[in-house]
């Protein structure tokens, strides 16, 4: 990979420091949880990771605080006390058996940017605010981006008791379990007057950059998602004694639904929509018993909100019809709804200009994954920078991004924040 000249020599991010930080966070994983990193939303380990960030930022002289949603914020004052903040950040929670880069890259980049700015005494008019959002991953509660949704006023106290993880623990109880008061989350809402702009650096979680040999991307839109759980009630019975024509097999119905979810997303009318059954629970889970019940977790993503909703509706209709044919009862529970979000051209232009300053030509591309930036854009103009994911893999222990790309992305981030500081 060729070296990239850095316009502001002083702001060249240090790959070794970034690697050390990534290693530190990767070490905070649930013991005995299998390969990769498991650090779930509103878990003790997520809190520990936030504490690592807080200690680093305190050491740099930043003011650090945790809000009522469990987000951790750090601020370096600017020269104009009345100016609104220019911000950056991402998340430190992971999916079960995830990688060490998703979210973490944006946080270590924020930590390194703060170090560069303070060490080199880089002047800035706006306060620089660094944010670690809580509970970005929807893997545990269905709802993604809980911390950032709360600051944007998209999730409030009434939404928390009803969202439950697979063990039945509610979002509200999980928050209480780590010392937060879920009834007070509205205190965390951001005042748009306090913000000038926000930029998130993230791994691409796809293979567009790698396949086009680009090291940096600038995001123009973020996909939405419609998530639901489909519960199937069939009839458990003896696998040998029950003839095929007398069954109401919940596992067979689940299998049919997995395939129809795929076929709905593959239809020409759903172009660009992605639909996934990422989890199926079957009970009683015995080889010699026909499954009496099953639950499927379905995630429908799109850059076009109409197509996303139409696909979700079609999935429910065809699942219901398939179950009726099989004598299986089918109930659908909506889990979360997020619209696709176009990001503002003005911030994108600044990010592209920051890349140009560094001799880089970025690819402008949409994000297939959800991000905190999507929610933050409700409060303040927001941009996103992507760096490549090896083989496009993410949400898996094989997730990998070269440390030189993490450093380059951090340098682009720092350059972008300082450009925004000068422009706004
Ligand atoms: C976040 O990682 C998502 O699931 O899009
Ligand atoms: Mn992420
Ligand atoms: Mn993720």
Q: What is the 3-state secondary structure (H, E, C) of 345-402?
A: HHHHHHHHHHHHHCCCCCEEEEECCCCHHHHHCCCCCEEEEEECCHHHCCCCCCCCCC
Whether the CB of 138 sits within 6 Å of ligand 1: yes
Taking the CA of 370 as reference, the closest ligand is 1
Sequential pLDDT tens for the chain (424 residues): 444 444 455 578 999 999 999 999 999 999 999 999 999 999 999 999 999 999 999 999 999 999 999 999 999 999 999 999 999 999 999 999 999 999 999 999 999 999 999 999 999 999 999 999 999 999 999 999 999 999 999 999 999 999 999 899 999 999 999 999 999 999 999 999 999 999 999 999 999 999 999 999 999 999 999 999 999 999 999 999 999 999 999 999 999 999 999 999 999 999 999 999 999 999 999 999 999 999 999 999 999 999 999 999 999 999 999 999 999 999 999 999 999 999 999 999 999 999 999 999 999 999 999 999 999 999 999 999 999 999 999 999 999 999 999 999 999 999 999 999 999 9
Q: What's the CA dihedral at 303, 307, 308, 310 to 10 degrees?
A: 170
Cα(394) to centroid(ligand 1), Å: 9
The answer to whether 356 touches 132, Cβ cutoff 8 Å, is no
Nearest to 45 by CA among 19, 26, 58, 66: 26
Q: What is the pLDDT of residues 308-332, one digit of tens each?
A: 999 999 999 999 999 999 999 999 9
The answer to whether 265 touches 298, Cβ cutoff 8 Å, is no
Q: Can you tell me the distance from the alpha carbon of 9 to that of 267, in angstroms, rounded to the nearest whole number?
A: 50
Cα(108) to centroid(ligand 2), Å: 13
CB atoms within 10 A of CB 119: 10
Q: Which domains does the chain have, with CATH numbers?
A: 9-223+341-423 (3.40.630.10), 225-338 (3.30.70.360)
Tokens encoding 246:
């007398």
Among 340, 341, 371, 393, residue to substitute to test ligand 1 (most atoms within 8 Å of Cβ): 371
Q: Which helix (H) or strand (E) holds 195?
A: strand 195-203
Cα(282) to centroid(ligand 1), Å: 25
Query: Looking at ligand 1, which atom is closest to the CA of residue 103?
Result: 2
Q: What is the pLDDT of residues 221-268, one digit of tens each?
A: 999 999 999 999 999 999 999 999 999 999 999 999 999 999 999 999
Which residue, by CA, sits nearest to atom 1 of ligand 1? 370
Query: Looking at ligand 1, which atom is closest to the CA of residue 138?
Result: 4
Among 96, 103, 200, 205, residue to substitute to test ligand 1 (most atoms within 8 Å of Cβ): 205
Query: Looking at ligand 1, which atom is closest to the CA of residue 136?
Result: 1
Cα(260) to centroid(ligand 3), Å: 25
Q: Residues of the chain with pLDDT > 90: what percent?
A: 97
Whether the CB of 144 sits within 6 Å of ligand 1: yes
The answer to whether 96 touches 38, Cβ cutoff 8 Å, is yes
Cα(400) to centroid(ligand 3), Å: 13
Q: What's the CA dihedral at 123, 125, 131, 136 to 10 degrees?
A: -120
Q: Which helix (H) or strand (E) holds 231?
A: strand 224-233
Triad 393, 398, 403: Cα angle to 5°: 90
Query: Looking at ligand 1, which atom is closest to the CA of residue 102?
Result: 2
Q: Can you tell me the distance from the alpha carbon of 384 to that of 363, in angstroms, rounded to the nearest whole number?
A: 12
Query: Looking at ligand 1, which atom is closest to the CA of residue 369?
Result: 5
Cα(91) to centroid(ligand 3), Å: 9
């Amino acid at each position: 990979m060729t070296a990239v000249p850095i316009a502001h020599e002083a702001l060249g991010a240090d790959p070794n420091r970034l690697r050390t930080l990534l290693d530190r966070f990767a070490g905070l994983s649930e013991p005995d949880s299998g390969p990769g990193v498991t650090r779930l939303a509103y878990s003790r380990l997520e809190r520990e990771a936030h504490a690592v960030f807080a200690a680093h930022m305190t050491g740099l002289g930043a003011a650090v605080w945790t809000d009522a949603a469990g987000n951790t914020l750090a601020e370096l004052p600017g020269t104009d006390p009345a100016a609104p903040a220019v911000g950056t950040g991402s998340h430190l929670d992971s999916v079960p058996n995830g990688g060490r880069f998703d979210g973490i890259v944006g946080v270590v980049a924020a930590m390194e940017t703060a170090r560069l700015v303070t060490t080199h005494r880089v002047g800035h008019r706006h306060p620089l605010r660094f944010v670690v959002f809580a509970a970005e991953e929807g893997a545990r509660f269905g709802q993604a981006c809980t911390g950032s949704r709360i600051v944007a006023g998209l999730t409030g106290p009434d939404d928390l008791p009803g969202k439950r993880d697979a063990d039945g623990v509610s979002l509200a109880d999980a928050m209480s379990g780590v010392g937060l008061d879920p009834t007070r989350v509205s205190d965390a809402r951001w005042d748009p007057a306090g913000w000038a702009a926000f930029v998130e650096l993230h791994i691409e979680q796809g293979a567009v950059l790698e396949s086009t040999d680009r090291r940096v991307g600038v995001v123009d839109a973020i996909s939405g998602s419609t998530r639901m759980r489909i519960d199937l009630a069939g009839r458990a019975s003896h696998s040998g004694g029950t003839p095929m024509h007398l069954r109401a097999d919940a596992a067979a119905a689940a299998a049919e639904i997995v395939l129809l979810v795929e076929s709905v997303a593959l239809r020409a009318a759903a172009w660009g929509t992605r639909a996934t059954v990422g989890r199926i629970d079957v009970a009683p889970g015995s080889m010699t018993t026909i499954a009496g019940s099953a639950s499927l977790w379905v995630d429908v993503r799109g850059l076009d909100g109409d197509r996303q909703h139409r696909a979700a509706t079609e999935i429910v209709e065809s699942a219901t019809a398939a179950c009726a044919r099989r004598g299986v009862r089918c109930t659908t529970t909506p889990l979360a709804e997020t619209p696709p979000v176009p990001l503002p051209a003005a911030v994108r232009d600044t990010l592209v200009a920051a890349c140009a300053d560094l001799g880089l030509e970025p690819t402008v591309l949409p994000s297939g994954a959800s991000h905190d930036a999507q929610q933050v854009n409700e409060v303040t103009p927001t941009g996103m920078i992507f760096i490549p994911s090896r083989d496009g893999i993410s949400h898996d222990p094989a997730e990998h991004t070269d440390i030189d790309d993490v450093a380059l992305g951090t340098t682009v981030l720092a350059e972008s924040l300082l450009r925004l500081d000068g422009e706004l």
